[in-house]
């Protein structure tokens, strides 16, 4: 991961020698498939563009990122990223909770939002089901950290996650919080979010 700048705004960039299998909820390059890069860019408070996918594509082009990738946006200064490694799993999280929300809250149009973006790198190849399970693990660990900090909500309306793993080697079948990889992932994400809240 490196920190660079586009139009004076900081951007975190991950580039990989070999594309990695990814599952992503990012506005650009979301879904499941191989990705050669990830970016997490700071945008101004009050950001109101309705085409975040196009915006990420513009940032990627300026940084000369080519091929399949995935990109996130946040009003948090990404230089405040917290990186935690646990048994080969690395979680790099930017935490913003300007207005936390409960997952099952009533609709609230026009509320200010913060964003918790988590980019997590796993050391072994994961089965498709394990990757989906690992997304749930990240969400549970994030919510645990928020609960422990007394935050009134399970996250924000725009939280996003990117999970990456090798696309070769023996396949790990499980990604839940009691699995070998999932347990390390849960602890890393919880610690990163907890530290980011401070």
Placement of tokens 């009050």 in the chain: 46
Domain boundaries, the chain: 2-197
| DSSP at 79 | G
pLDDT band at 20 (very low <50, low <70, confident <90, very high): very high
pTM metric for this prediction: 0.95
**CA-CA distance, 83 to 29, in Å (whole number)?**
23
Phi, psi of 140 (to 5 degrees): -65, -45
Convert the pLDDT of each residue in 30-55 to its tens digit. 999 999 999 999 999 888 899 999 99
Mean pLDDT in residue range 157-170: 96
For 105-162, what is each residue's pLDDT tens digit? 887 655 556 799 999 999 999 999 999 999 999 999 999 999 999 999 999 989 999 9
* Both tokens assigned to 184: 């390390």
Please state, rounded to an integer, the average pLDDT across all residues of the chain: 95
Range 166-173 average pLDDT: 96
Angle at 172 between CA 167 and CA 178, to 5 degrees: 135
What is the spatial distance between Cα 169 and Cα 93, in angstroms, rounded to a whole number? Answer: 27
The pLDDT tens digits of the residues spanning 58-76 come to 999 999 999 999 999 999 9
**Cβ-proximal residues to 171 (8 Å cutoff; 6+ apart), any chain:** 124, 125, 126, 127, 130
């Amino acid at each position: 991961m490196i920190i660079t700048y586009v139009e004076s705004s900081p951007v975190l960039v991950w580039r990989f020698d070999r594309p990695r299998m990814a599952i992503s909820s990012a506005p650009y390059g979301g879904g499941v498939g191989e990705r050669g890069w990830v970016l997490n860019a700071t945008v101004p408070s009050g950001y109101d563009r309705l085409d975040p996918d196009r915006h990420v594509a513009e940032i990627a082009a300026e940084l000369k990122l080519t091929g399949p990738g995935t990109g996130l946006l946040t009003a948090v200064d990404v230089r405040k990223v917290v990186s935690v490694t646990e048994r080969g799993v690395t979680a790099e999280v930017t935490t913003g909770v300007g207005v936390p929300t409960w997952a099952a809250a009533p609709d609230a149009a026009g509320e200010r939002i913060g964003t918790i973006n988590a980019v997590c790198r796993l050391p072994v190849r994961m089965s498709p089901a394990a990757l989906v399970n690992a997304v749930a693990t990240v969400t549970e660990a994030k919510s645990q950290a928020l609960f422990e900090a007394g935050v009134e909500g399970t996250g924000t309306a725009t939280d996003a996650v990117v999970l990456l793993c090798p696309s070769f080697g023996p396949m790990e079948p499980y990604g839940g919080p009691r699995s070998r990889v999932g347990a390390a992932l849960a602890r890393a994400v919880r610690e990163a979010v907890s530290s980011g809240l401070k």
